[in-house]
Structure 1
């Protein structure tokens, strides 16, 4: 049975912020994560007072073990 690990990232001002630490351009960050085996599986819109204020992206990849 395949085991998965998960990673979250935020989109802030057209930048991808991975787990609150690493900032890259959105395209560069997505390409980097893809090259590391991460697959985008879902996203969550952050909504405040009826307006979208940001996005959380959820990635997964098979674990090494």
Structure 2
């Protein structure tokens, strides 16, 4: 039986929009961070947190702002 997980934070809606606007997929972020696509989904949808080094990798690779991680 699958257990329902509680949200750690609100979904990163700005990040979701930024990904769509830049034609990026969860798969692209998963590959960059060396994690599963499902883990990326959990982080973006509020079921777990991004680590600071993961945020820094995304910002560095794609030249975006840290603001996409704030709602």
TM-score by length of structure 2 reads: 0.27
Q: Rg bigger for which structure?
A: 1
TM-score by length of structure 1 reads: 0.28
The structure with the greater share of residues assigned to helix is 2
